Each structure stands twice: as C-alpha cells, then as structure tokens.
Amino acid sequence: MSSETNTSFDHPIKQRMDGIETSYGVHIKYTPEDDEIKYVVAIAYIASIKEDYHCRVDRKQVFINGIAPNKLIDQLAARCMDAIYPIDFLVNPFYGIKEVLNFEVVKERWQTAAKALKREYKGDVVDQYFEQIDQTLVDQHTFFNALKREMFYNLIFFKKKAMYAKNAVEKNVSYRLPIHPYEELSEFVGNQRVYFEAQKIHFHYQGVHKTTDTLRLTHTIHKDTFSLESVKGTYSTKDKELSFSVTALKERTKKYVAKTDAPEAIPAKKIKKKKSWFSDLFKRSKE
C-alpha cells in the first residue's frame, strides 16, 4: 500500500448494515462452450464486531444452462451444498474475509447430513464426493482455503486497496481466482483504480496472468454503507473467454431473520460417474 493516501476519500463507514440480508445474483458464462451457471447468494450482516462484520452466507437457487439441477449427480451436489451452508464469516469491509466463525457447526451439520445422504445415494462417485468433503473439513484452515475455489467469494469480498492510494491508483495488486477447474488458483497482477460518482464508488482492475491471460473487473459499492452493488468482469485468452457478474437483487433486501431449512429428500438411486459442475469446492486444497 502506498504511504501517501488518497486524501479525497472520507473513509469511515457512515451507515452500518447490521441486521440486513442482501441477495446477489451470480452469473458465470464460458465461451466458446456457451455453458453457464447461475445461482443466488444471500449475505446477512448479522452484527458489527468493532470495524468488522459477522456475516452469514447462504447459497440457493442454482441453475445450470438455464435449468435447475436435473441429473442425479447434480442433485447430489445441491444436497451437499445444502448441508454445508450457511457459513458464518468475520469480514472486514476494506480487506475481505478474515476467518470462518462457525467451522465446528458446519462440520457437525455435514456429518449428520452425510449419514442420511449415504442411505439415499449409492455408488463409487458418491463415496468419492463424501471423502472429498470429509478431507475439506479436516480443519478450519483447509476448509477456508477450499472456499477460495468458489468464484463468488473472491468477487464479492474484495480488497479495496486503491481507496487509500496516491492519486486513487494502487499498482501491483494481486488477484487469485479459480479460473481453471481442478487446477491451482490463477494469480493476476495489475492496477486497481477508484472513481467516485454520486452515491457510488467504482473500482476498476486490470491484471495479467502469465503475460497473456487478462482479467478485467469493475466493482461498484455504495458510498455510505460500502455494500456491494455489482461486479462485472471477464477473463480472456486468445481463444476463450470467461465472463462473470454479481448483481445485488435489491427487491430481496430485507431484515435478517435466523432460520434453518431442512433439505427436501429424494429417492435413493445409484449414481454413475459423469461430468458435473460440482467438484472443485470439495477437492482438497493444496495451499
């Protein structure tokens, strides 16, 4: 971080988000394959803890190429996600996620759900899924690293380094994103710039990976709450492009109310090995 600050920015948060739940629509599209994944992420700002937030994150309403999961393997994936979420985090508005707060609760919830899922689903693929999840939940550090393989965490909880930089530009900013399934996170290095517009603050980033692959990101946050309003970005190579967007669904913003939803059971069936969108989150991190 530059030793000289962006003095035009009055950095204190003017309006806290305690007790508010905001939902985001996440859209990831692969070109030229023309595959896409859409889902909704609900983020509840449960309480302030000094300068940080206690946030609860839940995933819901997954659509693969425009339809809800209809293959048994994808339905199993959704059931596993239901068992893992919601997850509580300590989040800093300027620097992103700091730690998982309810790891033991998540682990216990998964162990309970796994017993029922094993009675409903049979096959080698099922056993592999469960083994991968068990390995991911071996300790809090491993679980935290595995979550970094979820694209939306890296997009929603981002570092606002340019906010403090001289001339509102921070150079050599590093982003690590899960661009390629089953591979390590791709690291990009580039510049982040900040712009002010009425009640909005925009962060523009452009970085490169291996000198040829380019990442472009634009984050927009609310000036008073620092809450995320949108993310738009592309990852591009000579022959491929990955586009992603995160949009606040303002009509779903509401007062947070704690609740627990039991997942709907489906008939027991044997699953054969097939390609699935479910995989990378529960592949044990090497980091």
> What is the C-alpha to C-alpha distance for residues 281 and 284, in angstroms, rounded to an integer?
8
Decide if 272 is inside a domain: no
- Containing structural domain, residue 217: 20-250
Please give the pLDDT value at position 124: 86
**Alpha-carbon separation of residue 106 from 14, 91, 103, 139, 249 (angstroms):** 33, 18, 5, 11, 27
Q: Is 271 helix (H, G, I), strand (E, B) or coil?
A: coil
Q: How confident is the model at residue 210 (pLDDT cuts 50, 70, 90)?
A: confident
User: Quick one: CA torsion of 134, 136, 138, 142, rounded to 10 degrees?
Assistant: 180
Q: Is 280 helix (H, G, I), strand (E, B) or coil?
A: helix
Closest CA to 87 of 70, 73, 99: 99
Instruction: Give residue for tokens 């425009």.
Output: 66
Instruction: Give mean pLDDT, residues 121-128.
Output: 86
Instruction: Give mean pLDDT, residues 180-208.
Output: 92
Decide if 24 is inside a domain: yes
Decide if 95 is inside a domain: yes
DSSP 8-state code for residue 180 = S
Decide if 152 is inside a domain: yes
> What is the C-alpha to C-alpha distance for residues 8 and 167, in angstroms, rounded to an integer?
9
Q: How confident is the model at residue 263 (pLDDT cuts 50, 70, 90)?
A: very low
CA atoms within 13 A of residue 9's CA, in its CB half-sphere: 27
pLDDT of 151 strictly over 50:
yes
CA atoms within 13 A of residue 248's CA, in its CB half-sphere: 18
Decide if 162 is inside a domain: yes
DSSP 8-state code for residue 140 = H
pLDDT of 54 strictly over 80:
yes
Q: How confident is the model at residue 11 (pLDDT cuts 50, 70, 90)?
A: low
Decide if 287 is inside a domain: no
Residues sharing a CB contact under 8 Å with residue 85, sequence separation 6 or more, in sequence order: 57, 58, 59
Please give the pLDDT value at position 6: 47
Closest CA to 18 of 53, 43, 51: 53
Please give the pLDDT value at position 219: 97
Please give the pLDDT value at position 15: 84
Tally of domains within the chain: 1
Distance spanning both ends of the chain, measured CA to CA: 24
CATH code of the domain containing 66: 2.30.230
Decide if 280 is inside a domain: no
Decide if 268 is inside a domain: no
